[in-house]
Amino acid sequence: MELLLIALVILVIVFVMRANSAKSGQIRGGAGASASLEDAQAEARRWIDRLGGQVLNLSGNDEPSKQALADAAERYNAAGAQIEGATTPRQAQLAQETAMEGLYYVRAAREAMNMDPGPPLPDLDGQERAGHVSEDRSVQVEGRNISASPAPSSQTPNYYPGGNVAGRPVPAGWYSEPWWKPALVAGAWGLGSVFLFSALFTGMSGVNYDAASFESGTGDDGAGEGSYGDDYGDSGGGEFDGGDVGGDGGGGFDFGGLDF
């Protein structure tokens, strides 16, 4: 009887110890999640502060540099709104990505002003897959001239750092107008976008995918991940409203009947 009682006491002690251990693990897990969010917020704020310092201390001296800095300031404001509302590590990461994109616009502005662009930046989501504009090219789409160039000029003052927009890759380069912005705002590409892409980039060495891949949202690597434009739109940045789209590109984005 005594042996049975001792065995019962031992079982109770083991049960209590295991219960306390599980509870302690849950507490540590919750603390770890909080630390992860705090770490992500701190890292995002570091990039946002870096972008803010550049935006506040630089002034453009020509149309391309002014436009690039305006886009950088837009990303700075959006990243600030995103980080203030971030409640998960992923949301904080989105704010960081927005700030990093803003820093690409700062680099573009500095290069347009013949300044040292600064240290290299991490790749943006989909940037490598999107490729880059490798030659000057102008096309006429429904009576409207659209140009692309690897370098800024008065004819191509609108920069894009390259990456995914609404599920499709847009090459890095300088453009006569930001033809990708309607998709960034709406979250989907309109009719005529594939035709425009084909006319502008077919045969360009820096772009390693074709119009069919663009239409399906995949590059030559077969990837089909969600676009940065989608992430940006879902994260509450809210900066790309209809007024911005109408104003940045010099007269709206109907693209001569292509209904972008």
pLDDT at 48 > cutoff 90: yes
Range from 36-40, 54-58, 185-189 carrying the lowest mean pLDDT? 185-189
**Identity of the residue numbered 256:** G
Q: How many CA atoms lie within 13 A of 235 on its CB side?
A: 30
pLDDT of residue 200: 94
40-47 long-range contacts (CB < 8 A, ≥24 apart) are 40/86, 40/89, 40/92, 40/93, 40/96, 41/83, 41/86, 41/92, 43/92, 43/96, 44/79, 44/83, 44/86, 44/92, 44/93, 44/95, 44/96, 44/99, 45/83, 47/79, 47/96, 47/99, 47/100, 47/103
224 DSSP assignment:
-
Extract the tokens encoding 153. 């000029």
pLDDT of residue 242: 35
pTM score: 0.74
pLDDT of residue 33: 58
pLDDT of residue 18: 65
Beta partners for residue 164, in sequence order: 169
Greater confidence (72 vs 234) lies with 72
Q: Do the strands 163-165 and 158-160 form a parallel or antiparallel pair, or are they unpaired?
A: unpaired
pLDDT of residue 32: 59
188 DSSP assignment:
S
H/E run at residue 14 = helix 2-57
pLDDT (tens digit, 9 = 90+) per residue, 92-149? 999 999 999 999 999 999 999 999 998 999 999 899 989 999 999 999 987 889 999 9
**174 and 156 Cβ atoms separated by less than 8 Å:** yes
Confidence of residue 241 (pLDDT cuts 50, 70, 90): very low
Which residue has tokens 């992430």? 231
In the chain, the percentage of residues whose pLDDT exceeds 90 is: 58
pLDDT of residue 17: 62
CB proximity list for 257: less than 8 A, separation 6 or greater:
142
pLDDT (tens digit, 9 = 90+) per residue, 175-228? 999 999 999 888 899 888 999 999 999 999 999 888 888 888 765 443 433 333
pLDDT at 246 > cutoff 50: no
**135 and 97 Cβ atoms separated by less than 8 Å:** no
* Rounded average pLDDT over 53-73: 96
Give the number of other CB atoms < 10 A from CB of residue 123. Answer: 13
pLDDT of residue 217: 75
3-class DSSP state of 129: helix
Which residue has tokens 């006429």? 140
